[in-house]
Structure 1
Amino acid sequence: MEAFQEYGASGVANHTRSHSSAFFLSGIPGLEASHLWISIPFCSVFTISLLGNSTLLYVIKTDVTLHKPMFSFLSMLASIDLVLSLTTMPKTLSIFWFRASEISLMACLTQMFFLHTFAIMESAVLLAMAFDRYVAICHPLRYNAILTSSLVAKMGLVALGRAVLLMLPLPFLLRRLPYCHSHVISHCYCEHMAVVRLACANTQFNNIYGIIVAMVVVVLDLSFISLSYAKILRSVLSLATTEEQLRALGTCISHLSTILIFYTPVVLSSIIHRFGHRVAPYIHILLANFYLLFPPMMNPIIYGVKTKQIRERAFRLFHRWKDF
């Protein structure tokens, strides 16, 4: 890409010493010439994500039979996926289509804050959904008494509060750092470590804080999710017939699929980042984008296919739009 080549390492370094508040997102390093073609699947997935999650929210809001704890958590998940998609994809597509790689420091830090905050919040909502499945299977007679509307709202607020408190220091920690080297961020969006690498100061505290937050969130949430499913499995195995066991496990398939879709790219990206030193840079970036693109697209599809109420309501909605 000719436009990006003008922002080469030395060019950007010279240009940005006098404009230290500007960064330049490279898109996908090594595949600049293919950005226009890459934008086709990116835009398609982005469109499906917006349509799917918006439809899911509309269906749950307008159908009173879906005003239940499980669907409240699903609404939170859809809202988070919409925010994650809208936080990153418009800028990514503008890089692919218009070579609009420049982003101000404040815009970069704002994007990074929303990106990581809502990713952490999604992990917490998946944990809350695991608790929902645990209560539904292990304590079915007390389900409505335990998972009240008040408790569901409090769980959502706690998920949001935890994410904001963990991420709030990051923009301030990054803003105080000097950026006197190349201001080219080798990414499609402002990710924490991608920005930290550009600083020409001691970033040990930033690195340690980022690792601690990631470990606390992933390890803590996955541990409690695993504990919930261990209890669910023990309860299911105590059921009398195989049919009852399969029916009980069938209510968890959607949630388990969502967990795998969300956490698998995170784990793979972490492994490649730490041990895959010979892996091409564009593999890292594509995997990072896959982590943000694929779950928001797949979550409404998974729940739409597996949940009869959502599927039937969505079909009626699409038929109404078609007739209109």
Structure 2
Amino acid sequence: MSEGNHSGVTEFLLTGFPGLHPQYHGLVSALLFLVYFLTLVGNATIIFLFAADRRLHKPMYYIILNLCMCDALFSTTTLPKIISKYWFGSGSISFMACFIQMYLVHYLGSVNSLILFLMALDRYLAICHPLTYSNALKMSTVHILSVMAWIISNVGPLMMVIRAYPLPYCASNVINHCYCDHIGITLLACTDRAPYGFPAFIMAMIFLLGPLAFIVFSYSSIIAAVLKIADSSGRMKTLSTCSTQLIIISLYYLPRCFVYLASNVGLRFSVDVRVVIIMLYSLCPPMVNPLIYCLRAQDMKESLWRQLNKRSISQKTQVSAVCG
């Protein structure tokens, strides 16, 4: 692409939270850094537990492993730049880097949605079709489906980048957001955005609402199946096996659906409120998910305690050896 296509625009400026007073920049950067740190530590812990404990090598936990990697990558894609803006006053991002970030944001969002679809599929087969579960969802099948999720998710983001990159960018280079996304970038193009925005919207809806439709169907089927169980303790035990995934799925989808529905019924937010809402539903689930796994998933909780006890015993042995 020639430089003339974007009329000398070589970088974009991320405003972050536009109405934020400068005196709070340090506090916000520290808070975002804490969120990033907790996200990395939490998801790295789950990945470590999966690698260290073969008892976790089951389809459900392999799907969770993929979600952890996706969450860690998404936070690494979005947070360091906005942290540096408030910490060091570095709010600019190069033209190429902004498009790379845009691609990764939409790509990892699509992967996340498909992984949540696999979560719902796992629970649906386990509860509604328990006799065929082990044959229908083997580890090899989950491996294939997971790899396909990472590959198929390239389609939409690549289309967005290929169509948006050559547009003439000759207006403002200020993006009212904490990271580069398709809407934020294409709004700055000196051309009619409709031919580019609508196909991107349709693609986003396919990757968002397609998996969501199956998720709603699967959990409706699960609830119907659970209600048929006569024993109340059996009902609670069955529901507990899918409650973790349901909480995670709700954290991902409910805020997004609210934002899309609000914009379509005419409910408008200020730029600051919109950015805050988007950052909350983008960054809170990756940070909270590992805590939910360890508190709600029994196998994961037991694995964590085993690792902690093993480390405690190892330290006591070392101390005894030194004292002896």
After TM superposition, the score normalised by the length of structure 1 is 0.90
The AA in structure 1 aligned to 2:213 is S
Structure 1 match to 2:267: 276
3-state SS in 1 of match to 2:93: strand
Alpha-carbon distance in 2 for matches of 1:139, 1:38: 48
1:276-297 deviations in whole A, cap 9, x for unaligned? 33x3211111111112210101
Of residues 297, 300, 304 in structure 2, which corresponds to 1:310? 300
Alpha-carbon distance in 2 for matches of 1:209, 1:290: 26
Decide whether the 8 Å contact of 2:29 with 2:84 is kept in 1: no
Alpha-carbon distance in 2 for matches of 1:282, 1:273: 15
Decide whether the 8 Å contact of 2:114 with 2:211 is kept in 1: yes
Q: Give the length in aligned residue pairs.
A: 307
Could you say what the CA RMSD is over the residues aligned between the two structures, in angstroms? 1.7
Relative distance call for 1:64 and 1:239 in structure 2 (3 A) is same
Note the residue ranges of structure 2 that are not aligned, 5 or more in a row: 1-5, 319-324
Structure 2 match to 1:219: 209
Structure 1 match to 2:13: 24
Of residues 168, 186, 194 in structure 1, which corresponds to 2:158? 168
Task: Give the CA deviation at 1:272.
Answer: 4.5
Task: Give the CA deviation at 1:318.
Answer: 4.2
Decide whether the 8 Å contact of 1:273 with 1:284 is kept in 2: no
The AA in structure 1 aligned to 2:117 is L
Alpha-carbon distance in 2 for matches of 1:135, 1:226: 14
Of residues 301, 317, 322 in structure 1, which corresponds to 2:291? 301
Decide whether the 8 Å contact of 1:177 with 1:199 is kept in 2: yes
Note the residue ranges of structure 1 that are not aligned, 5 or more in a row: 1-16
Alpha-carbon distance in 1 for matches of 2:217, 2:263: 28
Relative distance call for 1:321 and 1:90 in structure 2 (3 A) is farther
3-state SS in 2 of match to 1:24: strand
3-state SS in 1 of match to 2:154: helix
Structure 2 match to 1:63: 53
Task: After TM superposition, list the pairs within 5 Å mapping 1:1-324 onto structure 2.
Answer: 19-33=8-22, 34-274=24-264, 275-277=266-268, 279-318=269-308, 323=315
Alpha-carbon distance in 2 for matches of 1:74, 1:248: 19
Alpha-carbon distance in 2 for matches of 1:281, 1:25: 13
Alpha-carbon distance in 2 for matches of 1:321, 1:27: 41
Runs of 4+ in 1 over 3 A off after TM superposition: 271-274, 315-324
Alpha-carbon distance in 2 for matches of 1:321, 1:237: 43
1:191-218 deviations in whole A, cap 9, x for unaligned? 1101111111122121101210122122
Relative distance call for 1:251 and 1:234 in structure 2 (3 A) is same
After TM superposition, the score normalised by the length of structure 2 is 0.90
Q: Report the more deviating stretch, 146-155 or 62-71.
A: 146-155
Identity of aligned residues (%): 33
Task: Give the CA deviation at 1:159.
Answer: 1.3
